Amino acid sequence: MKLKWIVGCLVVLMLLTTACGSSGTEPNPDTNQTEGTKDTEKSPDSGKEDPFGKYDEPITLTLGKSISTKNTNLPNGDTVDNNEYYRYIEKKLNVKVTHAWQTETQEAYQQKLSVSIASQDLPDAFIVNEKQLKQLVEADLIADLTDVYNKYSSPLIKSYYESYGDRVLKRATFDGKLMAFPGTEIGGQHNMTWIRQDWLDKLGLQPPKTLDELLAIAKAFTEKDPDGNGKNDTYGFTGLPTLAGWNTVNGFDPIFGALHAYKGQWLKDQAGSTVYSSTLPEMKTALAKLHELYAAGIIDKEFPVRKDSTELIAANKVGIVFGPWWIPYWPLPDSVKNDPKAEWKPYTAPLDSDGKFNTYDQNPTGSFLVVKKEYAHPEAVAKVLNMEYEGIRKLDPAAKDIYKDLNVSWVIWPFAIQIGFEDDAYRVHLELKAAWDAKDPSKLNDELKMWYENVKKNAENPKKDLAVWSDSMSRMDGSAEIDPSKLTVIRNVFFGQTKTMELKWAILEKMENETFLKIILGEEPVDKFDSFVQEWKKLGGDQITKEVEEASKK
């Protein structure tokens, strides 16, 4: 019996000591050194503040990383943690990058990371979400990168961030200190309207401009047997239980937009005060409209209970799909595979009464690259990131030819964080389009060259190879519709969570989703919307609105 108490005490002791060990560390000599150089701005050692300066002594940088080891296309036995990119960085910077741990999927990464953070078993650098960033700042576990950013980040990286104004960097700034390198979400991910051209042709219809035209088409798709199988088994479109939102194929966003309604956005009204878009009268109108459509059988009857709303697309039961420019990658190929006649075309429609296509802006950032506080060389992270982006954008002649023509993804570089201009997807499209029009792919980079080839292949042999079709449809047709001049973007003034939201948001959201769905299905009258708004305000909505108003002023 005694033995186990002894072992027990030992374990407790070990727990205590290791835990202290990681937190109680004094800033180590190396950190002091960097601070030293900071004080004497122009030190003789010229390499010190060079964004691409090589270290005299080799240093290491450990990462936690989510990276699939499947289909990496890496040659010669290279692996995701030992490859040309990593060796190139070691050669150029004397920084040896290794993985403290890695996972295959993003989901697993989140689980592993949560444990890692909570037990303070952190890699030197890793990527977190906004909530985790806030917690890490509060727990004082990550390094202040203000100086690192100012002195070591390359002009390229800085130009990307600056293109967003302060919308991105501000989100990683706490008390004036920059605590992370934020990733940037590339814009133009709104839902547009994809329509089966072959169905339109068959029924002799014209592509829609207005909402009424779109709905007329949806009605025809429902009632006039566009697939010609003699059965009444098609719908105009299907939907989602949550109705709308970012990254949601089948969200009703375009319909909402045409009626000036938006779901779940924090907007400034005309008087300049903050309002929650789901509670505005326009939403009531939009719900009434959707109810009308549902009752008429134009919307898939079972959309609220479907686990996978894309099933109907794959089964070719719908002729209209609301989705971003990239849905030819998924789920449209399933549709084409099951019915090779399917001819999907993207439209920036329906337009509102003023002829505008309304959408709301997307969260410009959601992931953050952070550095462990104890890490002695935080500037090494900036340097590696600099090298990486010079490489990804093919600006570094020496890195340009690494893995040439092997179709190795950029995420093989150490940091799988996306930093770029907001309209990158559209810029890339323009570049590709220009080359295509000029029939000259010589100036394109590898990736674009591949797309160019695929556009060509698909033009010669449409839909022969669906992977080729996906590239061609997304990069040429889909992304042509994200031309900023075609869109009216309503600014969301607040992303994130306030104090009261932590407690009450789930209940408000629950009420919102439940009420809206019931209105659409006709289980509640449309006027239920008014009591929903009252209830919403009472149960914390008003308080939250106030908090958002304050937070968005900062």
Partner 1 sequence: MVRSRTLSSQLADGIILLVLVIIALTSLYPLWYTIALSFSDQAAANAGQVTIWPSGFNLTSYRIILDDEKFFRAFGVSIKRVLIGGALNFLLTVIMAYPLSRSAKQFPGRNIYMWLLVFCMLFSGGLIPLYITITTLGMQNTIWSLVLPGAVPIFNVILIMNFFRSLPKELDEAAVVDGAGPWYSLLRIYIPLSVPAMATVTLFSIVGHWNSFFDGLIYMSKPQNYPLQTYIQQLVVNITPDLMKEMTTEQLIELMKASNKTLNAAKLMVAMIPILLIYPFLQRYFVHGIVLGSVKE
Partner 2 sequence: MKDKKTLFHYHLMLSPGILLLFVFSIIPMLGIVMAFQNVIPGKKIWKQEWIGWDNFAFMLQIPDIKQVVLNTVLIASMKIAAGIIIPVVFALLLHEVQVRWFKRTVQTIVYLPHFMSWVILAGIMVNILSLDGIVNQIAGLFGMEPVMFLASNTWFRHIVVWSDVWKEFGFGTIVYLAALTGINPSLYEAAEIDGASRLKKLQYITLPGIMPTIILLTTLSLGNVLNAGFDQIFNLYNPLVYSSGDIIDTYVYRLGLVQMQYGLATAVGLLKSVVAILLIAISYRLAYKFANYRIF
Residues binding partner 1 (CB under 8 A): 11, 14-15, 18-19, 68-70, 99-108, 110-112, 115, 118-119, 121, 129, 183, 185-186, 189, 242, 245-248, 308, 310-311, 314-316, 326, 329-331, 333-334, 337-338, 363, 366-367, 409, 411, 416, 418, 425
Choose, by CB under 8 A, the member of 80, 218, 517, 548 that binds partner 2: 517
Q: Which two tokens stand for residue 315?
A: 């089964």
| Interacting partner of 56 out of partner 1, partner 2, none (Cβ under 5 to 8 A depending on kind) | none
Tell which positions 496-515 bind partner 2, by CB under 8 A.
502-507, 509-510, 513-514
Q: Which two tokens stand for residue 441?
A: 């792919």
Confirm if 263 and 286 have CB atoms less than 8 A apart: no
Tokens for 111, please give them.
């689980």
Fill in the per-residue mask, 381 to 410: x = in contact with partner 2 (CB under 8 A), - = not in contact. ------------------------------
Structure tokens at 21: 């060990």
User: What angle (nearest 5°) sits at the alpha carbon of residue 122, between those of residues 116 and 124?
Assistant: 150
Q: 208 touches which of partner 2, partner 1, none (CB within 5 to 8 A by kind)? A: none
Provide the minimum distance between the beta carbon of 400 and partner 1 in the complex, in angstroms, as a whole number. Answer: 20
> What letters, b where the CB count within 10 A reaches 16 and e where it falls short, cover 345-357?
bbbbbbbeeeeeb
61 binds partner 2 (CB under 8 A): no
CA distance 80 to 71: 11
Applying CB under 8 A, does 12 fall inside the site for partner 2?
yes
Q: Is 473 helix (H, G, I), strand (E, B) or coil?
A: helix
Between 328 and 350, name the residue whose CB sits nearer to partner 1.
Answer: 328
For residue 30, the tally of other CB atoms under 10 A from its CB is 12
User: Which residue type occupies 476?
Assistant: M
Nearest to 381 by CA among 184, 157, 170: 157
Q: Which is it for strands 367-371 and 125-129: parallel, antiparallel or unpaired?
A: antiparallel
What, of partner 1, partner 2, none, does residue 14 touch, CB below 5 to 8 Å by kind?
Answer: partner 1
449 touches partner 2 (CB under 8 A):
no
For partner 2, the binding residues in 82-141 under the rule CB under 8 A are 110, 114, 117-118, 120, 131-132, 135-136, 138-141
Q: Tell me how many helices (H) and strands (E) the chain has.
A: 21, 14
Q: Which stretch binds partner 2 (CB under 8 A): 6-14, 196-204, 324-332, 419-427?
A: 6-14
**Least Å from the CB of residue 65 to partner 1:** 11
* Token duo for residue 211: 């909402």
Helix (H), strand (E) at residue 373: none
At closest approach, how far in Å is the CB of 539 from partner 2? 6
CB 164 within 8 A of CB 361: no
Rule CB under 8 A: which residues touch partner 2?
1, 3-4, 7-8, 11-12, 15, 19-20, 23, 110, 114, 117-118, 120, 131-132, 135-136, 138-141, 241-242, 301-302, 304-308, 502-507, 509-510, 513-514, 516-518, 521, 523, 539
